[in-house]
């Protein structure tokens, strides 16, 4: 369970809030003022019972026969997610992935701004990505404090990730998004979200294998593994 202001919300609900927010912002762009739980649920990719339950943790929303007010629900979820104020990100490790993450154009619309890029390789330091100069990771703590960095994205190889994460935490950051293929051991009050694309693909491969075992051939299922 996660405390948001005065309410306590299951972590799984918090993980779905960004999907509701994205769907609500799409509706705002389309000029829609109110929406039904079934429409919002479908746009968010969840069942409508799940949506109603999730929103009930946050408070009492929606009017029977009218639905949800798009603008006010959107503002409420954004505030619950702490998106009222901008989050300042530093990306550590500016290789293939770090570059791609730095160049993602969707941060601003979601309340994030990349304010620092750091790397250890002298061939990378001094270069630029997304118009930002890459600085040496030796300056990590100073940069975090001076630029009010509130979240750090780790896109380094596995071995240095634990040490960097500890430095990030010692500089005061409590939220880390890690792409490094290692488990990070950090104090309990630090929230680490780990992204593992290959692991997600393995889960898909498991489902594909299960479907195959049940006699339903998938396209490409007969291509031998190399
Ligand atoms: N989790 C996922 O889904 C996923 C997907 C792709 C890559 N990855 C992982 O993300 C990481 C980055 O992948 P990539 O393809 O960009 O690799 P890359 O080799 O292109 O980039 C890694 C960068 O980290 C820098 N680096 C190394 N040690 C450092 C340190 N101590 N401090 C700061 N920077 C340091 C390197 O100089 C390099 O620029 C790897 O660990 C990879 O396994 C994860």
Query: Domain ranges in the chain?
Result: 2-80, 87-195
pLDDT (tens digit per residue) in 115-164: 999 999 999 999 999 999 999 999 999 999 999 999 999 999 999 999 99
- Evaluate whether 37 touches 66 at the Cβ level (below 8 Å): no
Ligand 1 centroid – CA 151 distance (Å): 17
- Tell me the pLDDT tens digit for each residue of 7-35: 788 889 999 999 999 999 999 989 999 99
Q: Percent of the chain beyond pLDDT 90?
A: 65
- Rounded to the nearest angstrom, the distance between the alpha carbon of 180 and the centre of ligand 1 is 7
Is 2-80 assigned to CATH 1.10.10.10?
A: yes
Query: Integer distance in angstroms from the first to the last C-alpha of the chain?
Result: 43
Closest ligand 1 atom to residue 124 Cα is 39
Q: Is residue 89 a contact partner of residue 98, using CB atoms and an 8 Å limit?
A: no
If DSSP codes are grouped into helix, strand and coil, which group holds residue 151? strand
For residue 191, CA distances in Å to 122, 165, 175, 187, 207 come to 30, 11, 5, 9, 30
Q: Are 37 and 70 in contact (CB under 8 A)?
A: no
Structure pTM? 0.74
Q: Is 98 annotated as a binding residue?
A: yes
The highest-level CATH class for domain 87-195 is alpha beta
* CA-wise closest residue to 165 among 198, 193, 199: 193
Given this model, what pLDDT does residue 30 score?
Answer: 92
Please give the distance, rounded to the nearest whole angstrom, from the Cα atom of residue 106 to the centre of ligand 1.
21
């Amino acid at each position: 369970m996660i405390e948001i202001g005065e309410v306590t919300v299951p972590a799984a609900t918090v993980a779905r809030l960004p999907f509701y927010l994205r769907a609500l912002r799409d509706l705002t762009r389309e000029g829609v003022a109110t929406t039904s739980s079934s429409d919002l649920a479908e746009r968010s990719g969840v069942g409508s019972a799940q949506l109603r339950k999730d929103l009930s943790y946050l408070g009492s929303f929606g009017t029977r026969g009218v639905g949800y007010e798009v603008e006010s629900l959107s503002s409420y979820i954004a505030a619950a997610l702490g998106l009222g104020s901008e989050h300042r990100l530093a990306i550590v490790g500016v290789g293939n992935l770090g570059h791609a993450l730095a160049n993602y154009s969707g941060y601003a619309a979601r309340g994030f701004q990349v304010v620092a890029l750091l790397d250890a390789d002298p061939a990378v330091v001094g270069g630029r990505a997304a118009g930002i100069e890459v600085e040496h990771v030796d300056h990590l703590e100073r940069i975090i404090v001076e630029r009010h960095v509130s979240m750090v994205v780790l896109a380094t190889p596995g071995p240095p990730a634990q040490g960097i994460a500890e430095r990030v935490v010692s500089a005061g950051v409590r939220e880390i998004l890690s792409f490094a293929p290692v488990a990070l051991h950090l104090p309990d009050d630090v929230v680490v979200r780990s992204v593992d694309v290959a692991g997600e693909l393995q889960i898909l491969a498991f489902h594909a294998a299960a479907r195959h075992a049940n006699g339903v051939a998938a396209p490409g299922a007969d291509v031998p593994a190399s």
